[in-house]
Amino acid sequence: MGEIRNILFIMCDQLRADYLGCTGHPHIRTPHIDALAKRGVLFSRAYCQAPVCGSSRMSFYTGRYVQSHGASYNGVPLRVGEMTLGDHMRELGRRAGLIGKTHMTADLAGMARLGITRESLPGLLAAEGGFEPWERDDGLHPDAYTSPDLAYNSYLRALGYDGENPWHTHANSGIDEAGNVASGWYLRNSHLPARVHRDHSETAYMTDRAIAKITALGETPWCLHLSYIKPHWPYIAPAPYHDMYGDADIIPANRSEAERQNPHLVVAAFMKHEESVNFADEAKRRRVIPAYMGLITEIDDHMGRLMRFLTDCGRMADTLIIFTSDHGDYLGDHWLGEKELFHEGSVRIPLIIVDPRPEADATRGTVCDRLTESIDLIPTFVDLLGGPAKPHLLEGRSLRPLLEGRKIDGWREFVVSEVDYAWRGARLALNLPPDRTRGYMLLDGRWKYISYDNFRPQLFDLKDDPNELHDLGESAAHGKIRRAMEDRLNGWLRARRNRTTMSHEEIEARTNNYKTRGIYFGVW
Can you tell me the distance from the alpha carbon of 415 to that of 421, in angstroms, rounded to the nearest whole number? 20
| Closer residue to a second copy, CB minimum distance, 446 or 504 | 504
- Contacts of a second copy in 25-84 (CB under 8 A): 66-72, 75-83
Q: Tell the smallest beta-carbon distance from residue 106 to a second copy (Å).
A: 10
Contact 60, 78 (CB under 8 A): no
Can you tell me the distance from the alpha carbon of 225 to that of 41, in angstroms, rounded to the nearest whole number? 19
> Which residue of 24, 142, 365, 479 would you call a contact of a second copy, by CB under 8 A?
142
406 part of the interface to a second copy, by CB under 8 A:
no
Stretch that binds a second copy, among 313-321, 349-357, 381-389, 435-443 (CB under 8 A): 435-443
413 part of the interface to a second copy, by CB under 8 A:
no
The closest of 274, 190, 273, 175 to 236, measured between CA atoms, is 190
Question: Which backbone phi and psi does 27 adopt, to 5 degrees?
Answer: -125, -25
3-state secondary structure string, 101-130? CCCCCECHHHHHHHCCCCCCHHHHHHHCCC
Stretch that binds a second copy, among 95-103, 109-117, 368-376, 467-475 (CB under 8 A): 109-117
Contact 194, 202 (CB under 8 A): no
- Return the number of other C-beta atoms located less than 10 Å from residue 358's C-beta: 10
- Return the number of other C-beta atoms located less than 10 Å from residue 213's C-beta: 17
479 part of the interface to a second copy, by CB under 8 A:
no
- Contacts of a second copy in 349-378 (CB under 8 A): none
- Contacts of a second copy in 273-312 (CB under 8 A): 273-276, 278-279, 284
Q: Tell the smallest beta-carbon distance from residue 107 to a second copy (Å).
A: 5
> Which residue of 132, 202, 338, 340 would you call a contact of a second copy, by CB under 8 A?
338
Q: Tell the smallest beta-carbon distance from residue 504 to a second copy (Å).
A: 5
| Closer residue to a second copy, CB minimum distance, 107 or 471 | 107
- Contacts of a second copy in 436-455 (CB under 8 A): 438, 440, 453
Stretch that binds a second copy, among 292-300, 371-379, 382-390, 498-506 (CB under 8 A): 498-506
> CA 7: distance to chain centroid?
17
- Contacts of a second copy in 158-187 (CB under 8 A): 183, 185-187
Question: Can you tell me whether residue 461 is helix, strand or coil?
Answer: strand
Torsional class of 197: left (φ above 0), alpha (ψ -120 to 50), beta (otherwise): beta
Question: Can you tell me whether residue 448 is helix, strand or coil?
Answer: strand
123 part of the interface to a second copy, by CB under 8 A:
yes
87 part of the interface to a second copy, by CB under 8 A:
yes
| Closer residue to a second copy, CB minimum distance, 311 or 513 | 513
Q: Tell the smallest beta-carbon distance from residue 492 to a second copy (Å).
A: 9
Ordered DSSP codes for 1-14: --S--EEEEEEEES
